[in-house]
């Protein structure tokens, strides 16, 4: 059967349903938890794939954007504003209706920012930071861009680790659920949270978001802008010569991938009910890069399959305490033997590369 975009998406949706049914039949529904989390991580990976694989701009700082999304929505929806209730800013926020009142488990009054507003703020913040960072940083190329984004990731990590507002080393917990749609009549509400009874619903929410995210990116790479992005990767000078505003295109795709990462951060944080500074760590950024590479760089489907698959195994604890080491090793092996990704690998090319490597030859450019 010939590959077409709608057909592939339908197959994926069918597979998602089949997996859920299978876990139900076999009584292994506990897998759904990791599959849900893996879907959110894969959202970061596909966003990064468009930036790295198609536009050719590396970022070793995307855990930073994930953390900006996660931490902002966590902090805004958990910090109690009761003490500041009479401040003008809080009054203004209340007036425009983005605050919610409630009680904590001890019966204390709580005033917090509503999750939808926190989510919106987090996404706007991530986009703004990506924009401001991207203007100077995207002028750099190759190693220099890698180092600059690494620097950004490190800063976000240290901020998360050292700021009282973000819970320092403990991170933020007891993040409330995020009601996407209120219940109408017999239809139950759509809530992103980690409640045991909500597991199936959350599995479908996560995969729904991932599939929509995937469709939008698949459309993008087939469009005029997608061609422009690939042309930048191919030759920046020639892209400029045909009228592609390379600086603007790079900035836009950088912001887009940052928003994808931040959205994943927001939703996963509400699903897990909290997050810690390890989500912002440089190792996480390296892991995203490794997943893009093992998926085949300019290959959204490869990124999705590898992003979900390897993250799922990692979350199931298959790699034990060697977790980070496994992703490091993947990065080395992919670069040496399969620069086009595992899925794009054909047996005879692998054999040739292994032989050449054995003979002491080096990998061609």
Partner 1 sequence: MVPTMLELKNVNKYFGGLHAVSDVSFRVEQGTIKAVIGPNGAGKTTLFNLIAGNLVPSAGTIIFQGREIQGMKPHRIAALGMARTFQNIKLFHGMTALDSVMVGRHVRSRAGFLAGMFHLPWTWREEREIRDRAMELLELLDIAGFADVEATSLAFGQQRSVEMARALAMEPKLLLLDEPAAGLNIYETAEVARLITRIRDMGITVLLVEHDMSLVMDISDEIVVLSFGEKIAEDVPAAIQNHPEVIRIYLGEDEEAVV
Applying CB under 8 A, which residues contact partner 1?
216-217, 219-220, 222-228, 230-231, 233-235, 237-246, 252, 256, 298
75/229 with CB nearer partner 1: 229
260/312 with CB nearer partner 1: 260
48/76 with CB nearer partner 1: 48
Q: Are strands 190-192 and 178-181 parallel, antiparallel or unpaired?
A: antiparallel
Nearest approach, Cβ of 256 to partner 1 (angstroms)?
A: 7
For the chain, what is the radius of gyration of the CA atoms? 22
Using CA atoms, how far residue 319 sits from 34, 44, 180, 215, in Å, is 14, 21, 34, 31
191/214 with CB nearer partner 1: 214
Nearest approach, Cβ of 333 to partner 1 (angstroms)?
A: 22
Residues 193 and 312: their CA atoms lie apart, in Å, by 19
Residues 129 and 131: their CA atoms lie apart, in Å, by 5
Nearest approach, Cβ of 178 to partner 1 (angstroms)?
A: 23
94/240 with CB nearer partner 1: 240
180/220 with CB nearer partner 1: 220
237/364 with CB nearer partner 1: 237
249/275 with CB nearer partner 1: 249
Q: Give the tokens for residue 303.
A: 């990124």
Q: Give the tokens for residue 201.
A: 């619903």
Burial of 343 (0-12, 13-18, 19+ CB in 10 A): middle
Find all residues with CB under 8 Å of 363, minimum gap 6, and list them.
335, 336, 339, 353, 356, 357
Cα angle at 201 between 197 and 203, to 5 degrees? 110
150/297 with CB nearer partner 1: 297
Phi, psi of 178 (to 5 degrees): -115, 105
Q: At what angle do helices 199-221 and 5-26 cross, to 10 degrees?
A: 160
Residues 279 and 170: their CA atoms lie apart, in Å, by 12
Find all residues with CB under 8 Å of 127, minimum gap 6, and list them.
255, 258, 259, 262
| SS3 assignment, position 97 | coil
Using CA atoms, how far residue 138 sits from 130, 336, 343, in Å, is 10, 27, 30
């Amino acid at each position: 059967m010939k590959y077409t975009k709608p057909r592939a998406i339908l197959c994926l949706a069918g597979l998602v349903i089949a997996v859920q049914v299978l876990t139900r039949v076999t009584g292994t529904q506990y897998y759904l938890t990791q599959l849900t989390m893996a879907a959110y991580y894969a959202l970061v990976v596909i966003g990064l794939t468009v930036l790295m694989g198609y536009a050719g701009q590396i970022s070793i700082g995307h855990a930073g954007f994930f953390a900006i999304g996660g931490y902002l929505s966590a902090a805004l929806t958990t910090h109690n504003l009761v003490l500041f209730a009479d401040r003008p800013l809080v009054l203004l926020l209340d007036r425009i209706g983005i605050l919610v009142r409630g009680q904590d488990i001890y019966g204390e009054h709580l005033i917090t920012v509503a999750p939808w507003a926190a989510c919106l703020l987090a996404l706007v913040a991530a986009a703004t930071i990506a924009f401001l960072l991207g203007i100077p940083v995207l002028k750099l190329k190759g190693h220099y861009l890698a180092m600059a984004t690494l620097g950004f990731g490190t800063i976000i990590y240290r901020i998360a680790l050292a700021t009282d507002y973000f819970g320092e080393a403990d991170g933020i917990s007891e993040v409330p659920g995020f009601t996407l749609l209120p219940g109408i009549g017999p239809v139950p509400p759509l809530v992103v949270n980690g409640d045991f009874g909500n597991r199936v619903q959350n599995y479908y929410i996560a995969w729904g978001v991932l599939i929509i995210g995937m469709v939008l990116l698949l459309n993008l790479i087939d469009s005029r802008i997608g061609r422009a992005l690939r042309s930048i990767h191919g030759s920046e000078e020639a892209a400029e010569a045909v009228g592609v505003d390379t600086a603007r295109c790079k900035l836009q795709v950088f912001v887009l991938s940052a928003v994808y990462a931040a959205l994943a951060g927001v939703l996963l944080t509400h699903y897990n009910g909290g997050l810690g500074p390890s989500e912002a760590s440089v190792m996480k950024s390296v892991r995203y890069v490794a997943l893009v590479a093992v998926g085949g760089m300019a290959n959204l489907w490869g990124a999705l399959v590898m992003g979900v698959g390897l993250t799922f195994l990692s979350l199931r604890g298959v790699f034990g305490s060697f977790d980070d080491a496994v992703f490091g090793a993947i990065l080395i092996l992919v670069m040496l033997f399969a620069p086009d990704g595992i899925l794009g690998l054909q047996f005879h090319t692998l054999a040739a590369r292994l032989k050449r490597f054995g003979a002491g030859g080096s990998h061609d450019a």
